[in-house]
Amino acid sequence: MPSFAKRLRTVLLLGFKRVRRQVRNRLFLPTEDFRQDTGKAGLAPEGFLAGRREKPRLYVEAALPHVGALAGRCPGQAAQALADAGRIVRHEFDLLGSGPFKPVDPDRPARASGYRPIDWYIDPVRNLRFPVRVPYKEWKLFEMRPANADVKYPWELARSQHFLTLAQAFQLGGDTRFAREIFDEIADFMEANPVGFGINWTCTMDVAIRAANWAIGLALTLDADGIDEDERLDAYAGLFDHGRFIYENLENTYEVTSNHFLSNVIGLHFIAAEFEGLPQARLWDEFCRKALEREIVVQIHDEGADFESALPYHRLVTELFLASARLAQFQGRPLSDDYHARLARMVEFLAGMQRPDGLMPVIGDADDGRFHIASRYGDWNRQDARHIYAPAALTLNRPDWLPLAGPDAAWEAAWWGFDTAGIAPGLAPAPDGRHLYPNVGIAVTRTGGHYLAITNGAVGTKGFGNHKHNELLGFEYHLGGQPLLVDPGSYVYTSDFAARNLFRATACHNTVGIDGIEQNETNPEWIFRLFETANPVHENFEEADGTVTYVGSHTGYQRTEAKATHRRRFAYRRAEGHLVIEDTIAGEGEHRLVWHFHMAPGVAIAPDGKGFVLSAGDIRARLAVPAGLEATVGEAWYSPSYGVKVPCQALDLAATMPLDGRTWRFELVPGPAGEST
């Protein structure tokens, strides 16, 4: 081994820029590539493949002995996997609200085999192409992207989450073109995106998710005919390079770690498992296990909620933590009991927030993030988190979650490595109940088809607020299984700053605004930051005689000329879905108040005497409002998932008045006539 003096002299010759990089990347770490690392383990690359075939290393492989029986038990899911895989082979995708598109690379011709290279740089919505092969350290999104192109589209495609569907289709029927597609795409990607060059290396989170899905695809096609061993070794070499890149570019240098760093860790954990026995894999595995135990404490509140204050991100983070829990369990080296207990609370939080229709409210940001997609790749519902329940139930020995697991319960659990012979579709609704999650700031109550969720939480991610919205003392209200009033969602991020700021604004949520001021301060140019100014407080949450009462307040308007505190009381008779809302606003001077009521798509608003009738199909409720307010019914938008917005209606009630502490009363009365009681 070279002396320290020789190593130091070598480092000095590299120059300051590289020194800084090596210090960040743990000075003098071994950085051998795949073939060098197998040599250090005393193996030829071919010997690695032989060893890899001897023992399953990823939990998805446990499904292989049962594929025939699984197809018999789940014919619909098997047929959909085959149909989805057929579209993937034709390079037909539909991602993040894009609609169907075929990303054909304009610079590289079709191969002799007929394979047409994919355009890994395209935003199909705006038909704009990102610059090719920019060194990842030099990438500057807003200066280098074409016009307002959305980088999430190439990132989403390059995550390769369709590899599991291709592998399922190969295993279901033995059609080698599905396995062939995996290897063609890996070679295609590495040709168009050499390690460290291009936008698909600029976000380590996406690198890590891609790597995990490559590992899954390779693990499930080890027995595929027609794949040359050198080609297979090249694919593994590319996967190994992903591991090296992730470890050297961890997203833990920001103010606080988040789902990005967690994705880095989980992806690296899967790579380490795939390269079990190699020196760098042992290093990666040790790092990942320590990081997992730490991050589940850092990122998850004691109540089980993710600290980023966005329910769709909680779904993603739950899936991430669950994947590593299952992987470690499959390896025979489970993570700690404390880790499992906190993970169980995460799943319980999901169940607690579930709407009567089985979906999740879109509170906070949503970008449709997943780790791997085992069912319905082509059309999974982005508001449906039920794919988590069956694998979570079997990983954590919680059979009580299986009835919640949705129609794909057995199929999902099988690809998480469980024998699912006795599992039926889990079609039961989440149980009735009421919960206050004080740290994330959500109170929820559900009885049959009636549902109320109230938001009043601090800025998430330890005050960073990257995925938090200004929805304090807002609410979502469902009656008889029908959403009537909803959180609007988030729509898009970097491609449209105005839309981004609109969907996270106070004025777009079911709460009260003063003078158009945001509850928590924002900067229109800092679209992933809120500045904590509101100090939300839960004053009371109780139930008596069938009425659930929540009282909360915030001081977000104290920094303005109004110097106002907003206090809101909800009284909810949950058996009937009857809701009374009382707002008390105390401050200084005369100001403009606007109450916003955001309807779900398909809900009509009609004036009715002293109020308004809200109706959708057979469901009706009357909203009684105070006298003297100016009413405006207008067009609005609801975003159920990233890149998608659908029209809806909104009601704004406004007045200019002194903030003298008076109380304003609103009442939602269910029933065909909607008459107040």
CB 371 within 8 A of CB 420: no
Binning pLDDT at 50, 70 and 90, where does residue 2 land? very low
pLDDT in tens, 470-509: 999 999 999 999 999 999 999 999 999 999 999 999 999 9
pLDDT in tens, 427-472: 999 999 999 999 999 999 999 999 999 999 999 999 999 999 999 9
In a domain, 26, yes or no: no
> Does 437 lie in the same domain as 380?
no
Binning pLDDT at 50, 70 and 90, where does residue 254 land? confident
On the question of pLDDT at 14 being above 50, the answer is no
> Does 231 lie in the same domain as 141?
yes
User: Between residues 654 and 254, which one has the greater pLDDT?
Assistant: 654
Closest CA to 386 of 340, 351, 362: 351
Q: What is the CATH number of the domain that holds 35?
A: 1.50.10.100
pLDDT in tens, 79-127: 999 999 999 999 999 999 999 999 999 999 999 999 999 999 999 999 9
pTM above 0.85, yes or no: yes
Question: What is the C-alpha end-to-end distance of the chain, expressed in Å?
Answer: 85
Q: What is the DSSP letter of 114?
A: S
> Does 254 lie in the same domain as 147?
yes
What is the per-residue burial (b if ≥16 Cβ within 10 Å, else e) of 12-26?
eeeeeeeeeebeeee
The rounded distance, in Å, linking the Cα atoms of 414 and 409 is 9
Calculate mean pLDDT across residues 292-308. Answer: 98
Binning pLDDT at 50, 70 and 90, where does residue 31 land? low
pLDDT score recorded for residue 21:
37
> Does 512 lie in the same domain as 456?
yes
Supply 298's token pair: 């850092």
pLDDT in tens, 366-424: 999 999 999 999 999 999 999 999 999 999 999 999 999 999 999 999 999 999 988 99
> Does 130 lie in the same domain as 62?
yes
Name 304's bridge partners: none
> Does 469 lie in the same domain as 408?
no
User: Between residues 10 and 256, which one has the greater pLDDT?
Assistant: 256
Judged by average pLDDT, the poorest of 27-36, 235-244, 497-506 is: 27-36
Q: What is the CATH number of the domain that holds 559?
A: 2.70.98.70
The rounded distance, in Å, linking the Cα atoms of 317 and 436 is 21
DSSP 80-95: HHHHHHHHHHTT-B--
Strand spans (E) along 617-643: 619-624, 630-641
Four-residue CA torsion sign, 376, 382, 386, 392:
positive
In a domain, 19, yes or no: no
> Does 406 lie in the same domain as 457?
no
Calculate mean pLDDT across residues 602-613. Answer: 94
Supply 86's token pair: 């057929």
Q: Which residue has the tokens 């009521």?
A: 597
pLDDT score recorded for residue 316:
98
On the question of pLDDT at 22 being above 70, the answer is no
> Does 247 lie in the same domain as 153?
yes
Supply 519's token pair: 């509850």
> Does 409 lie in the same domain as 447?
no
Supply 351's token pair: 């169940």
What is the domain range of residue 440? 433-670
